[in-house]
């Protein structure tokens, strides 16, 4: 157990026994700063340019503070040196547990070694931290299944498959393009693998045609998941592969931010109405939920960040009380050094009809927020 935690728990126990001996009420005999409630959890988030990470950061902070913990929440502006520095500072300021959503999954080995040297447990949040033995736990979603769900949503949107998995009416051939996330994010590979395993039979039998011929993750990845870069790549694809009257029918996009860039490029090229290509997504970001409601984006994959935050808090508390957090997967996430015990949450595909039952009725967004395309 972390030395500071032990000391805090020890002092609290001492304070309690002193209170018991003297007959004082609880809390009257000790120094408040010695109680476990004064433990600090460092929370390092990648960026504030995407609303999902703001929601994640806020959820984790609120849930920890509600339990009385101190929270040191930092955003790194998608800059790797900034994140390294922020984690270093959390360690020097005496964090008792670290919860980290890495920008580059391979860039934090030094910080994690320093954390291990100071007995600070590390929880990787949604993105696995790679190449380090010092990742103690991983909370995320079933990322391979996210990719399967995205590809399935593309097939459903095109009419090749029905929502219940049956064969659809549409035969194709359909022209599609593929996008992937940032290569330095472990999740990007899981999403793409899940999606490609699902799409491959349809590409092989000619139902789907990747017109550009770009089917390798290295060819379709978007560094740092940037919306503008996705827009630029879609514009380039339209110029290079769709200049002779061929139309795009569908785009596999692994994240709503990328989807918005792709949609802008398609709209600027004149795509509209019923002929608008099927575009997938992920994260149920409010601006994209509105696009789905408006019939522009076809689907998104909802990952309830409230549940993810809750799991991170449960894992953090387990470490603070010297228990191993409960894992539900001890096989899938090898970070290059070891298999990291994980807690994986399920995901849900959201089409237009699902916005109300899944997102509004669960309190994730209000109907007004969806109508405005803005949270808060």
- Paired residues of 75 in beta bridges: 45
Q: Is 105 near ligand GAL (CB under 6 A)?
A: no
CB 4 within 8 A of CB 96: yes
Applying CB under 6 A, which part among 26-34, 69-77, 156-164, 180-188 lies near ligand GAL?
Answer: 180-188
Instruction: Closer to ligand GAL by CB, 217 or 269: give it.
Output: 217
How many CA within 13 A on the CB side of residue 330?
5
Phi/psi of residue 16, nearest 5 degrees: -65, -45
Among 2, 111, 150, 187, binds ligand GAL (CB under 6 A): 187
Q: Which two tokens stand for residue 357?
A: 């039952």
Q: Based on CB atoms, which residue is closest to ligand GAL, 103 or 122? A: 103
Q: Which residues within the stretch 290-349 sit at the binding site for ligand GAL (CB under 6 A)?
A: 303
Q: C-alpha angle 134/49/148, rounded to 5°? A: 65
Cβ-based nearer residue to ligand GAL, 180 or 248: 180
Segment interacting with ligand GAL (CB under 6 A) among 3-11, 170-178, 181-189, 287-295: 181-189
Q: C-beta of 259: minimal distance to ligand GAL in Å?
A: 11
Residue in 136, 184, 249, 283 binding ligand GAL, rule: CB under 6 A = 283
Residue 139: name the closest of 124, 161, 121 by CA. Answer: 124
Told to check if 255 binds ligand GAL by CB under 6 A, we report yes
Q: Angle formed by the axes of helices 143-158 and 186-204, to 10°?
A: 40
Task: Locate 209 and state its tokens.
Answer: 């045609």
In whole angstroms, the minimum distance from the beta carbon of 38 to ligand GAL comes to 32
For residue 67, how many other CB atoms are within 10 A of its CB? 15
Does position 144 interact with ligand GAL (CB under 6 A)? The reply is no
- Shortest Å, Cβ 53 to ligand GAL: 6
Out of 69, 192, 202, 225, the only residue in the binding site for ligand GAL (CB under 6 A) is 225
Per CB under 6 A, the list member of 83, 175, 198, 282 interacting with ligand GAL is 282
Q: Which residue has the tokens 């929370």?
A: 43
User: Is residue 185 close enough to count as binding ligand GAL by CB under 6 A?
Assistant: yes
Report residue 201 as tokens: 């039979």
Nearest to 146 by CA among 332, 362, 334, 341: 332
By beta-carbon proximity to ligand GAL, the closer residue of 283 and 304 is 283
Asked if residues 348 and 301 have their Cβ atoms less than 8 Å apart, the reply is yes
Q: Please tell me whether residue 126 binds ligand GAL under the rule CB under 6 A.
A: yes
354 binds ligand GAL (CB under 6 A): no
If we measure between CA atoms, which residue out of 293, 287, 241 comes closest to residue 264? Answer: 287
The residues binding ligand GAL (CB under 6 A) are 50, 52, 126-127, 181, 185, 187, 225, 255, 282-283, 303
């Amino acid at each position: 157990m972390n030395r500071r935690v032990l000391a805090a728990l020890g002092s609290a126990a001492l304070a309690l026994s002193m209170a018991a001996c003297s007959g004082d009420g609880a809390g009257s005999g000790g120094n408040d700063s010695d109680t476990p409630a004064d433990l600090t959890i460092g929370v390092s988030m990648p960026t504030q340019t995407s609303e999902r990470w703001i929601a994640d950061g806020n959820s984790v902070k609120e849930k920890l503070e509600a339990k009385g913990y101190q929270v040191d929440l930092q955003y790194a502006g998608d800059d790797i040196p900034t994140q390294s520095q922020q984690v270093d500072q959390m360690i020097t300021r005496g964090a008792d547990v670290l919860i980290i959503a890495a920008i580059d999954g391979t860039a934090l080995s030094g910080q994690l070694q320093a954390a291990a040297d100071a007995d600070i447990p590390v929880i990787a949040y949604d993105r696995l931290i790679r190449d380090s033995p010092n990742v103690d736990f991983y909370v995320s979603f079933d990322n391979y299944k996210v990719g399967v769900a995205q590809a399935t949503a593309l097939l459903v949107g095109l009419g090749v498959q029905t929502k219940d998995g049956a064969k659809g009416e549409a035969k194709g051939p359909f022209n599609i393009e593929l996008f992937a996330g940032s290569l330095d994010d472990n999740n990007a590979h899981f999403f793409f693998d899940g999606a490609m395993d699902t799409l491959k039979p349809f590409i092989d039998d000619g139902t789907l045609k990747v017109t550009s011929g770009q089917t390798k993750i290295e060819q379709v990845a978007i560094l740092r998941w940037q919306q503008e870069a996705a827009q630029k790549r879609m514009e380039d694809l339209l110029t290079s592969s769709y200049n002779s009257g061929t139309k795009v029918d569908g785009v596999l996009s692994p994240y709503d931010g990328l989807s918005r860039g792709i949609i802008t490029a398609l709209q600027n090229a004149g795509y509209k109405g019923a002929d608008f290509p099927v575009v997938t997504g992920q994260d149920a970001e409010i601006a994209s939920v509105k696009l789905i409601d408006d019939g522009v984006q076809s689907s998104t994959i909802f990952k309830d960040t409230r549940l993810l935050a809750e799991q991170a808090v449960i894992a953090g508390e387990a470490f603070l009380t010297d228990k191993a957090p409960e894992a539900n997967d001890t096989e899938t996430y090898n970070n290059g050094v070891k298999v990291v015990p994980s807690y994986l949450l399920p995901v849900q595909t959201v089409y237009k009809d699902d916005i109300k039952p899944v997102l509004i009725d669960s309190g994730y967004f209000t109907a007004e927020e969806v109508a405005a395309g803005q949270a808060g």
